[in-house]
Structure 1
Amino acid sequence: MSWQAYVDSSLVNSGHLDKAAIISAAGDSVWATSAGFTVQPAEMKNLAEIVSGSKAAVDKAYADGLHVGGERYVATKIEDRSVYARQGRTGVVVVKTKQAILIGHYGETHIAGNAAQTTEALADYLIKVGY
């Protein structure tokens, strides 16, 4: 399956996310993205630092929020491989695998928990198959 198919079929077409992207774990390249969902290079680098466990990046995300697709989100939970952030009734779920970072965006009509479960499940699958 192509990276674009994972974005389209596994994430967006799940009905729990409205936009998604897959970037490299280093945060230096976009592998696939939804139409109109552009994660800027600086945003990718910052997300990679956060999910890689940089204390400074995690502290900054909690203090100042983080940016994805040009929007600012408030970090609500940052764990080993995952970042959860909100902006009102919308939000993002960011999950790191061995080689990739999945970014799922959910809109006002979506349930945050379902968006998180969908993104985490794809990450678990990719880790299991070596990515």
Structure 2
Amino acid sequence: MVDKKSYEQLDKIQELVKLVINHVDPDVPHRPAQDRVKMNQLQNLLHDALIATGHVENCAIVRRKDISLRASSAGFTLSGDEMQKLIDAFKDPPRTRQEGLYFHDKLYKCVRADKNSIYAKCDKVGMVLVKTATLVIMGTYSDNMYSSVCVEAIEKLASYFIEKSK
């Protein structure tokens, strides 16, 4: 059973996203100082909308066009190759479903893979990927977290980015 606090935090996601997303346009060139501010805003958004649910362990936002990390949760890193593999997983969902995904040297078996969302598990941990017009939002969960809350939080954040054509 998912606790009430998790659902209350999920309800706050859309309001938090509205506050941040209107200040971030990843397709407009910025000066380096502006990039740092925007990255911090996105990192705060990831923390408030995803990590704060208690059911997302790590998360990141990757821009698809240039395979760049736009933001990630504290201490979470993705290599260029890892970001490329996550983006490429959406190019052939049936193949991704069949072969799974390698991430951080582990093979994740796909539970769902379509043109917009990929859910994968490795033992008792898992990851969720959602594609928007310009981004891939990813999150991981551990064995003591509810995968359904992780999925809902990431899908809700992605929905808002999709509404804003981001």
| Equivalent position of 1:100 in the other structure | 135
TM score, norm. by length of structure 2? 0.69
TM score, norm. by length of structure 1? 0.86
C-alpha distance 70-10 of structure 1, shift in aligned 2 (>3 A): farther
- Superposition RMSD on alpha carbons, in Å? 1.7
For structure 2, the residue ranges without an aligned partner over 5 or more in a row are 1-19, 21-40
TM-superposed CA distance for 1:27, in Å, is: 6.1
CA contact (8 A) 2:89 2:101 kept: no
TM-superposed CA distance for 1:60, in Å, is: 4.2
Query: Structure 1, residues 105-125: CA drift from partner, whole Å, max 9, x if none?
Result: 011111111111110000001
Greater strand content: 1
Question: Larger radius of gyration, structure 1 or 2?
Answer: 2
Greater helix content: 2
* Percent of residue pairs identical: 27
| Equivalent position of 1:21 in the other structure | 60
CA contact (8 A) 1:104 1:115 kept: yes
CA contact (8 A) 2:94 2:113 kept: no
C-alpha distance 27-50 of structure 1, shift in aligned 2 (>3 A): farther
CA contact (8 A) 1:39 1:70 kept: no
Q: 1:113 aligns with which of 145, 148, 155?
A: 148
SS at match of 1:44: helix
Q: Where do residues 51-62 of structure 1 align in structure 2 (5 Å cutoff)?
A: 51=90, 54-55=91-92, 58-62=93-97
Letter in 2 for 1:73: Y
Using the TM superposition, name which of 82-91 and 59-68 deviates more: 59-68
Query: Structure 1, residues 44-76: CA drift from partner, whole Å, max 9, x if none?
Result: 11221222xx22xx3443343212344331111
SS at match of 2:50: helix
SS at match of 2:102: strand
Q: 1:50 aligns with which of 66, 69, 89?
A: 89
Structure 1 runs of 4+ with >6 Å offset: none
